[in-house]
Each structure stands twice: as C-alpha cells, then as structure tokens.
Amino acid sequence: MRTDMAALTPLLEGLTSRTSTSDGRAAERVTLPFPGGVPVDPAPSAEDLLPVHDLHDTLQRRRSSLVYGDQPVRTDVVLAKLREVLVRDRDEWGLDDTAGALEAFVFAFRSEGAAPGVHHVTADGCSHVAGLDELGPVEDLGIQREFSTAAGIAAVYGNLDRADSWAGAHGYRVCAVRAAMATYDLNLRCQAMGLVGTLFGGFIPASVRALLHSDGVVRHPLLATTYAHPR
Ligand SMILES: Cc1cc2nc3c(=O)[nH]c(=O)nc-3n(C[C@H](O)[C@H](O)[C@H](O)COP(=O)(O)O)c2cc1C
C-alpha cells in the first residue's frame, strides 16, 4: 500500500478540479447496446434465498471471503437485488441525466433461476448477453484465480465520458463513489441472505473488453464483488 503522502496529495487535489477534459460531445456517444440480448425476469426473492439477517447482524457478521461452496446461486435473485441497487443509485443521486448512469454485468458461473453466462443489468431491466462458452476459461480473466471459484461475479461499470463532461476529475470521483456504494450495497444484500463474497477491482478490463463493448470511456469497469454460498 502506498503511504507516500507527498506524492498522493497533488493527486487528491487534482480530483477537486471541475474542468472537463473531454470534447463536450459525450451526450452523442451512447453506451453500446446488446441487440441479441435475451430479456431476463429477475426474482425479488426465492424460498432458498431470503434475507435472514437484519442490518445490524449483517454488519456485525460481514467479512470478505475467497472460499466458496460449490452450490449454484439463484442468479435471478442476484439480478433483482442488483437492479434495485441501480434504481437506488439513480433515484438518490439524481445524476443519470447529467453525469451518466451506472450499469452492471453479472458473470454467473454456477447458476439457478437464470441461464449461466453474462447478464447485463441497468435500472430499467436485465438481459442475458453471452453464454459461458463465449467468456472462455474464467480463471484466466482476473489476477487472482480464487475469484472465478465463486458462483458468480457482479461488476459495476460507469460512464467516465459523461462524468468528466459533467464535472471533470470531480465527476470521475463522484462516479467512483457511486460505484463503490452500489457494489457494497449488493455485497451487503448478498451477505444478508447468507451468501459470502468479497469486493475486488474486477476482471482484467482487456479480458472482457470486446464481449462487453467496454471501451474504457463510455463503459468503464469500476468495482466488483463475488457471491456464493458459504463452504
Ligand atoms: C476497492 C477494493 C479492492 C479490493 N481488491 C481486492 C483484491 O484485489 N483481492 C482481494 O483478495 N481482496 C480485495 N479487496 C477485499 C479486501 O482485501 C478486504 O475487504 C479486506 O481484506 C478487509 O477484509 P474484510 O472485508 O473482511 O473486513 C478489495 C477491497 C476493496 C474495497
């Protein structure tokens, strides 16, 4: 961990700038859609996946885990929780129209209730956009192989183009904070349902760039969490 404050201070000060570095045309550049995506119905809850811990107990019990059970997880429930998280981000920050919306992808490796593979999630809905075969060997997509032993991974993406056009480096900072809140929101909702998982930076961006149309500007990965039943 870097503790050289002399080097970090100018970096942190730089994040206060509200001067956009973009060309002012961010609104013209849309996040690429998935025309072949198949709409998926999220499930608000399932008998074997219900909130069992209240907020106090969830916060007391929560810990990061890289050791996972082999059972599949109800992906349709995870999709519903993630969509709720994105709706909450949209409604509470009220920034989607000016600074861009968050979106997310769920990589469902061991899945029940929805097809395994990649699901695209926005505040408006969910769709299945790729099968596991299109992902290739999942242990090669991240730095730490343990992540791919989870039942799945949810990754939150931001629109840095819109964030920068709205408020420069400060816009980037707000986008990163929103992504962190959304990822922890999902992780804690999963832990409240008895699942385990850990936050991490996400897959190596280049490893899924083509599949997700993630150009690193209009659609950029910010933070992710694993989820699984405990071992
Ligand atoms: C932004 C962020 C990035 C992280 N990246 C990794 C990572 O790459 N690998 C990993 O094993 N854990 C990662 N973690 C998880 C932390 O290591 C974990 O939260 C920390 O060990 C504290 O443990 P606790 O959550 O059980 O309190 C990350 C956490 C955060 C907030």
- What residue ranges do the domains of the chain occupy? 38-227
Residue 152 bridge partners (DSSP) = 108, 227
Cβ–ligand 1 distance for 159 under 6 Å, the answer: no
Ligand 1 centroid from CA 198, angstroms: 6
**pLDDT score, position 1:** 60
In whole angstroms, what is the distance from residue 164 CA to residue 171 CA?
A: 5
Ligand 1 centroid from CA 64, angstroms: 7
Ligand 1 centroid from CA 185, angstroms: 15
Return the ligand 1 atom nearest residue 65 CA.
Answer: 26
Cβ–ligand 1 distance for 226 under 6 Å, the answer: no
Residue 190 · residue 227 · CB < 8 Å = yes
How does residue 48 score in pLDDT terms, banded at 50, 70 and 90? confident
Cβ–ligand 1 distance for 201 under 6 Å, the answer: yes
Could you give the angle at which helices 75-93 and 160-192 cross, rounded to 10 degrees? 130
**pLDDT score, position 32:** 83
pLDDT digits (tens, 9 = 90+) for 174-222: 999 999 999 999 999 999 999 999 999 999 999 999 999 999 999 999 9
Cβ–ligand 1 distance for 75 under 6 Å, the answer: no
Nearest CA to ligand 1 atom 12: 200
Nearest CA to ligand 1 atom 6: 200
pLDDT higher at 119 or 8: 119
How does residue 69 score in pLDDT terms, banded at 50, 70 and 90? very high
**pLDDT score, position 78:** 98
CATH class of 38-227: alpha beta
Return the ligand 1 atom nearest residue 66 CA.
Answer: 11
**pLDDT score, position 75:** 98
Question: Which 8-state DSSP code applies to residue 225?
Answer: E
Residue 11 · residue 155 · CB < 8 Å = no
**pLDDT score, position 98:** 95
**pLDDT score, position 2:** 61
Cβ–ligand 1 distance for 203 under 6 Å, the answer: no
CA distances (Å), 54 to each of 79, 171, 194, in order? 21, 34, 11
Mean local confidence (pLDDT), 40-44: 93
Nearest CA to ligand 1 atom 10: 200
Return the ligand 1 atom nearest residue 62 CA.
Answer: 26
Per the prediction, the chain carries an average pLDDT of 95
Mean local confidence (pLDDT), 117-123: 98
**pLDDT score, position 217:** 93
pLDDT of 165 > 80? The answer is: yes
Residue 153 · residue 226 · CB < 8 Å = yes
> In percent, how much of the chain has pLDDT > 90?
87
pLDDT of 55 > 80? The answer is: yes
How does residue 141 score in pLDDT terms, banded at 50, 70 and 90? very high
Testing ligand 1's pocket by substitution, the residue of 62, 64, 191 carrying the most ligand atoms inside 8 A of its CB is 64
